[in-house]
Each structure stands twice: as C-alpha cells, then as structure tokens.
Amino acid sequence: MPEGKRRKYTDTTVKLALMTLEDRTFAFDTQAAADYAHILVERERRGTPTSIQDAMIAAIACSWDAAIATRNIKDFEGTDVELINPWEFA
C-alpha cells in the first residue's frame, strides 16, 4: 500500500487491534509444533488428512488444552481437541 493517510490509518488500526487482543491469543510454540506433527501423522494414518492451517489451529488448541469453536467440525475430528459447534443448540 502506498504511503498516505489510508496506509497510516490501516497501520494504526492493525496495531490497535493486536494490542487489544495481545492477552487473548495463543502462539504456535514448541509444544504446539510437537502436537502439530502428531496431528498430521495421526490424520494421515486414519486416511483423513487435514490442511496445514487446520492442523496448526488444532495443535495450538491442544497445547493450551483449549476448545475450538467452529462450524467446520469434520476438519478437526480426531485431533483430541474439544470441539464446539456454536450453530448447534445444546
């Protein structure tokens, strides 16, 4: 994006959003990397390979013992992560 008011506004907005979410995000750390490898291998073994992105999301959730809220349940099944479909009523 070229220099100008729009770029400055966008940069400021992104920085503010990141600062706001800073204590509510989980990093892809060493434990997540180990869980990622396990998830990829296990999904391949079961014949249900997953995308890199979904495996990374599942690995981060697994490493923090967190749940994933998604409507796309099938892409995360078999990852040992609690899945919550917010579109289904309990």
- pLDDT for 90 equals 62
- Tokens matching residue 12: 């400021």
SS3 16: helix
For the cut 70, the answer to whether the pLDDT of residue 35 exceeds it is yes
> Percent of the chain having pLDDT more than 90?
72
User: Tens digits of per-residue pLDDT, 38-66?
Assistant: 999 999 999 999 999 999 999 999 999 99
Distance CA 63, CA 27 (A): 10
Distance CA 62, CA 41 (A): 15
Q: Residue 70 in contact with residue 60, Cβ under 8 Å?
A: no
- The residue ranges of every structural domain in the chain are 27-84
User: Tens digits of per-residue pLDDT, 64-75?
Assistant: 999 999 999 999
Give the architecture-level CATH label for domain 27-84.
3-Layer(aba) Sandwich (3.40)
For the cut 80, the answer to whether the pLDDT of residue 1 exceeds it is no
